[in-house]
């Protein structure tokens, strides 16, 4: 199963590359529209990183309304995993083994890389390249703001997930949110107990998942 979504996977790879070599700053000063497009993408990913899918979904736009449910299936697991990690860290302290999608350093690197992303404007479309070796993220200017164009960006990343993958993502997200609630209710006595339940939840996306 593709998890996290290709959008976030691409930025995870970007962060790894950036740790080895920082990208040079833009040759010319960005225009206000370029800055706004970059900021919109930055806000989108920051929302995912802190588990705020409501804000993230508000920054997506779709050519086909039916694709909204597909996008939500892709991103709810990422947001749920980030909420779980935050709750576990609050209760038991930082533990690298609980970085389900991104380590803290990778998340910080993503935020840093956004400031150096290359933006190419084409009318009401903007292509944002966070790293030259990766596909571009496509944004569209709509209703007075920049939003991530789900279909065009996903076309650059790869095929849409199957119905089975979408269902599995929703199951895992629900299981993660239950674990998060149990952490906050102090039902776990150690990080090892949390990790065991996380592993059980992750198997819901496997080939033998119920």
Q: What is the pLDDT of residue 4?
A: 43
pLDDT single digits (tens) 145-164: 999 999 888 887 778 888 88
Number of domains, the chain: 1
pLDDT single digits (tens) 124-151: 999 998 777 777 889 999 888 999 999 8
Q: What is the pLDDT of residue 15?
A: 44
Residue 48 in domain: yes
Q: What is the pLDDT of residue 102?
A: 61
- pTM, full prediction: 0.74
Residue 1 in domain: no
Residue 100 in domain: yes
Please check the confidence at residue 190 and state whether its pLDDT lies above 90: yes
DSSP-assigned states of every residue in 25-52: PPSSPPPHHHHHHHHHHHHHHHHHHTT-
Q: Domain containing 127: what range?
A: 6-20+30-205
Residue 152 in domain: yes
Residue 210 in domain: no
Residue 121 pairs with which residues in a beta bridge? 126
* 122-130, long-range: CB < 8 A, 24+ apart: 125/149, 125/152, 126/33, 126/34, 126/37, 128/37, 128/38, 128/41, 130/10, 130/11, 130/14
pLDDT single digits (tens) 168-188: 989 999 999 999 999 999 999
């Amino acid at each position: 199963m593709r998890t996290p979504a290709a959008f976030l996977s691409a930025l995870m790879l970007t962060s790894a590359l950036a740790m080895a070599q920082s990208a040079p700053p833009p040759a010319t000063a960005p225009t206000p529209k370029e800055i706004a497009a970059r900021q919109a993408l930055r806000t989108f990913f920051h929302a995912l990183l802190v588990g705020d899918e409501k804000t993230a979904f508000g920054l997506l736009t779709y050519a086909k309304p039916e694709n909204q449910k597909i996008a939500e299936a892709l991103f709810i697991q990422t947001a749920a995993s980030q909420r779980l990690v935050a709750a576990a860290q609050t209760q038991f302290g930082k533990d690298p083994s609980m970085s389900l999608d991104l380590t803290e350093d990778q998340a910080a690197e993503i935020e840093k890389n956004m400031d150096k992303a290359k933006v190419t404007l084409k009318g009401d479309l903007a292509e944002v390249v966070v790293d030259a070796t990766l596909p571009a993220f496509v944004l569209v200017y709509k209703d007075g703001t920049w939003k991530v164009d789900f279909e065009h960006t996903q076309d650059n990343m790869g095929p849409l997930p199957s119905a089975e993958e979408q269902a599995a993502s929703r199951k895992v997200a629900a299981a993660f949110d239950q674990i998060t609630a149990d952490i906050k209710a102090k039902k776990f006595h150690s990080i090892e107990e949390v990790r065991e339940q996380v592993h059980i939840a992750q198997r819901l996306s496997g080939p033998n998942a119920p």
